[in-house]
């Protein structure tokens, strides 16, 4: 990293500037802005660097446009080859930055940030090219008014609404004429269209989107006859606006599309073929470097010049294997021992390439197909087959549109790999590369975004004598275990306070502290971490990803940038500090607690301070933000723990901002919050009663830990028109009986929200928890019995008595 520190700087102050505008009906508007709930930070913002590119081997002045750049002290650069020689304030919105670019500076995108006395800006980029830079001259909007240009220049232009720019260039027969545009790569949502027209105004080459550069295009043609040719630039749907800047490279330089093979092992010599140049295939012997010098690809150069952009090329640890035709089926293939990288070309429609490899049972590989990511137009599909040709696994678009498979050999033996195009297309430039890399642990550290559209709080700015905290996210792959950050390479006067990250978490809170006497300054830091067990030899570095151009649908990322260092600085003192009063008692499962946050204000600073609680131990929840009111010096931050909150002692912090000519952010120290089991739990039976009755609720107590003094038990969730007085108990109590009083107005029904809240004093602080839950069922009284109704007595029916009959017996007759 190179930087410059001037003696004087003048000032800027403005609202956040629009960073990128999307075009027409095809795109949404994208602004570099914070969401409504988030204030504009007092740290500087950087919206754009103009001109968008410069020629290497010269001295140039770049204008950095943003907000709060008036006290700029240093420019952070993420790559070598560019030296800052001066910083000068222009007005409230801009500073001029003088640079010197080395003749051998790496071509392409370079990233810069501004460090001021109050913080570090977003990072933005500018480009370094090999050709002479010229500025578009209007009016060149018709063929008749086309601007005459030389070959081998880079034109810096703008396409406004319905604008079409024409350039006139002379070329000779059989000469190569190459045209490449950088547009969306400059950070605005600009979808360009370019064309080369002959003297009769017929298009002889056009380009809209390309596999290599997405919305940005290029053409390279062999000139059919001597004469003048037109180069046309417009927005693909005839849109445009003042933010649609472009850099148009025009000349006879080589512009191959892809390299074959598109990668190789570091540290060796290899032969590559460069495909797609109109003068024919180019064969080149190259030395593959040990470093990441090719991380942007390979720049080809000949006597005519050098490609403005690189062709895709990967540096890998595995050796290459190149396809041997014919290999369109399973037959007659040489068996290759893993690991290797298979390289080939799907040359014609219907082509499919097969490779045979051997693997041992249990061997596991990351199998990645690189096609679109190395500039090929292939939409690859890969499949792996067993020796008996039965399909095992396949993939299409996991890497959108490239492929990825995690493959573990089920048995010792031979296997087949097949590569084809998704639509069975083919082309001489459909290069691919399938890498079988052994699965090994990997680790990356990042700072999570707090704003979708900016890099707010993704750098570390620590005020003198104060603290600033952040969350560090760890992305583990293929390993587990606790992690620790290495406290190395920090700027003078800054100390990092962090505890190891537990194996079950991917976030850790980290606090940075600056000494009271620390000098203003900063640097880009190679933030690194590792597995706590150093002998495992698992380490990782920092990564930050920014979105520069977003569009439809759903703010899709069209172009962005990533860096591998963390900006860190000591900044000017701010008029307040924050502190968490270290709690002396735990928060228990199914419990709640308040953390007392104290503001130490300098005399004269009485504004409100908004406080947030970013790191929450597993199972602990809270509100988004609380406010320390104006003229107050403290606030209670409410926390609650669910029944599965993870037991243990956890590091926590609070971060807050106050208005200090913009929002100044500081944090508390790293405090400790213990999560424990409840001291006591209740078994509370379901209770039933009739309106107006006074039932009793008998609770059985289970003590998990001893406590001193008396505790309070309160029944809550009580329906209206019901009273249940609270009770007290101690560590010896085994049973509590609550008296319930209902009335004739108590609501009828099964009330399921009844719970008992217990408050225990421990080390002078309340420990509050929900000890148990129950139900109260209330019914209406039975209606009174109706009085009996009087009735007449029933008449008893009797049998009729027959009258006596005369006795006609012989005896009677006597």
pLDDT digits (tens, 9 = 90+) for 206-232: 999 999 999 999 999 999 999 999 999
- Residue 13 pLDDT exceeds 50: no
The residue-averaged pLDDT of 375-385 equals: 98
Predicted pLDDT at 807: 54
525: buried, middle or exposed (CB in 10 Å: 19+, 13-18, 0-12)?
buried
The model's pLDDT over 399-446, given as tens digits with 9 standing for 90+, comes to 999 999 999 999 999 999 999 999 999 999 999 999 999 999 999 999
**Model confidence at 814, in pLDDT bands (50, 70, 90)?**
very low
Which residue do the tokens 């790559």 mark? 79
The residue-averaged pLDDT of 141-156 equals: 97
Which residues sit opposite 249 in a β-bridge? Answer: 154, 180
The residue-averaged pLDDT of 105-131 equals: 96
Instruction: Answer whether 494's CB lies under 8 Å from 519's CB.
Output: no
The residue-averaged pLDDT of 790-806 equals: 57
**Model confidence at 241, in pLDDT bands (50, 70, 90)?**
very high
DSSP string computed for 35-99: -TTSPPBSS-EEEEEESSEEESSSEEEEEEEEES-TTEEEEEESSSSEEEEEEEE-SSSEEEEEE
Residues 546 and 187: their CA atoms lie apart, in Å, by 11
- Residue 205 pLDDT exceeds 90: yes
Predicted pLDDT at 344: 98
The model's pLDDT over 628-684, given as tens digits with 9 standing for 90+, comes to 999 899 999 999 999 999 999 999 999 999 998 778 999 999 999 999 999 999 999
What is the percent of the chain with per-residue pLDDT over 90, rounded to a whole number? 86
- Residue 577 pLDDT exceeds 80: yes
**Model confidence at 793, in pLDDT bands (50, 70, 90)?**
low
Predicted pLDDT at 803: 56
Predicted pLDDT at 206: 98
Predicted pLDDT at 399: 93
Predicted pLDDT at 808: 52
Mean of pLDDT over the chain = 91
Residues 299 and 290: their CA atoms lie apart, in Å, by 17
Predicted pLDDT at 62: 98
Predicted pLDDT at 554: 86
Separate counts of helices (H) and strands (E) for the chain: 1, 68
Predicted pLDDT at 615: 97
**Model confidence at 9, in pLDDT bands (50, 70, 90)?**
very low
The residue-averaged pLDDT of 748-772 equals: 97
The residue-averaged pLDDT of 739-748 equals: 96
The residue-averaged pLDDT of 740-756 equals: 96
């Amino acid at each position: 990293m190179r930087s410059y520190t001037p003696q004087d700087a003048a000032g800027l102050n403005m609202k956040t500037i629009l960073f990128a505008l999307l075009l027409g009906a095809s795109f949404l508007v994208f602004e570099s802005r914070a969401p409504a709930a988030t204030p504009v930070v007092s740290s500087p913002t950087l919206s754009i660097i103009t001109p968008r590119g410069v020629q290497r081997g010269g001295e140039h002045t770049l204008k950095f446009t943003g907000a709060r750049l008036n006290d700029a002290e240093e420019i952070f650069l993420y790559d070598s080859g560019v030296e800052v020689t001066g910083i000068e304030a222009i007005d409230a919105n801009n500073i001029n930055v003088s640079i010197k670019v080395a003749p051998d500076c790496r071509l392409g995108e370079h990233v810069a940030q501004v460090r001021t006395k109050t913080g570090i800006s977003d990072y933005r980029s500018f480009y370094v090219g090999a050709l002479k830079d010229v500025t578009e001259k209007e009016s060149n909007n018709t063929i008749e008014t086309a601007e005459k240009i030389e070959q081998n220049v880079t034109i810096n232009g703008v396409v406004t609404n319905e604008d079409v720019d024409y350039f006139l260039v002379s070329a000779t027969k059989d000469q190569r004429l190459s045209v490449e545009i950088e547009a969306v790569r400059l950070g605005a949502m600009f979808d360009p269209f370019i064309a080369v027209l002959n003297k009769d105004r017929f298009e002889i080459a056009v380009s809209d989107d390309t596999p290599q550069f997405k919305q940005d295009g290029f053409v390279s043609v062999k000139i059919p006859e001597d004469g003048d040719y037109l180069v046309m630039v417009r927005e693909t749907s005839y849109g445009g606006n003042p933010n649609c800047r472009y850099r148009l490279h025009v000349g006879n330089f080589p512009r191959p599309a892809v390299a074959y093979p598109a990668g190789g092992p570091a540290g060796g010599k290899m032969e590559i073929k460069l495909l797609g140049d109109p003068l024919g295939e180019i064969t080149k012997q190259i030395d593959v470097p040990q470093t990441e010098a090719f991380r942007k690809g390979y720049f080809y150069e000949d006597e005519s010049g050098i490609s403005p952009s690189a062709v895709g090329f990967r540096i890998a640890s595995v050796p290459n294997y190149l396809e041997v035709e014919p290999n369109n089926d399973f037959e007659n293939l040489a068996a290759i021992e893993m690991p290797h990288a298979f390289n080939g070309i799907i040359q014609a429609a219907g082509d499919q390439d097969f490779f045979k490899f051997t693997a041992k049972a249990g061997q596991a590989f990351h199998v990645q197909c690189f096609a679109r990511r190395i500039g090929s137009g292939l939409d690859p599909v890969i499949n792996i087959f067993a020796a008996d040709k039965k399909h095992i696994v396949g993939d299409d678009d996991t890497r959108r549109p490239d492929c990825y498979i995690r493959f573990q050999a089920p048995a010792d033996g031979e296997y087949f790999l097949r590569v084809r195009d998704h639509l069975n297309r083919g082309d001489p430039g459909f290069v691919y590369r399938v890498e079988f890399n052994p699965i090994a642990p990997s680790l990356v550290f990042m700072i999570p975004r707090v704003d979708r559209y900016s890099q707010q709080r993704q750098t570390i700015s620590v005020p003198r004598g104060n603290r600033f905290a952040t969350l560090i996210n760890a992305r583990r792959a293929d390993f587990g275990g606790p992690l620790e950050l290495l406290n190395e390479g920090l700027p003078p006067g800054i100390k990092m306070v962090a505890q190891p990250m537990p194996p079950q978490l991917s976030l850790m809170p980290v606090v940075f502290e600056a000494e009271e006497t620390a000098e203003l300054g900063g640097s880009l830091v190679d933030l690194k971490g590792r597995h706590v067990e150093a002998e495992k030899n698992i380490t990782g570095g920092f990564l930050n990803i920014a979105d520069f151009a977003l569009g439809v649908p759903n703010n899709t990322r069209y172009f962005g940038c990533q860096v591998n260092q963390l900006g860190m600085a000591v900044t000017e003192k701010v008029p307040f500090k924050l502190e968490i009063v270290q709690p002396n008692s735990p928060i228990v499962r199914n419990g709640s607690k308040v953390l007392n946050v104290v503001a130490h204000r300098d005399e004269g600073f009485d504004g409100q301070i908004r406080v947030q609680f970013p790191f929450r131990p597993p199972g602990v929840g809270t509100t988004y933000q609380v406010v320390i009111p104006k003229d107050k010096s403290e606030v209670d931050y409410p926390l609650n723990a669910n029944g599965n909150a993870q037991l243990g002692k956890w590091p926590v912090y609070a971060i807050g901002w106050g208005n200090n000519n913009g929002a100044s952010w500081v944090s508390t120290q790293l405090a400790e919050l213990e999560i424990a089991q409840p001291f006591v739990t209740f078994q509370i039976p379901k209770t039933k009663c009739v309106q107006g009755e006074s039932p009793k609720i008998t609770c059985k107590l289970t003590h998990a830990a001893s406590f001193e003094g008396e505790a309070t038990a309160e029944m809550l969730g009580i329906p209206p028109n019901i009273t249940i007085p609270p009770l007290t108990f101690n560590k010896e109590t085994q049973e509590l009986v609550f008296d319930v009083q209902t009335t004739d107005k108590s609501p009828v029904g099964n009330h399921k929200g009844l719970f008992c809240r217990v408050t225990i004093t421990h080390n002078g602080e309340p420990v509050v928890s929900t000890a148990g839950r129950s139900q109260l069922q209330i019914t209406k009284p039975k209606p009174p019995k109706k009085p009996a109704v009087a009735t007449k007595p029933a008449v008893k029916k009797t049998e009729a008595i027959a009258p006596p009959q005369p006795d006609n017996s012989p005896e009677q007759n006597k």
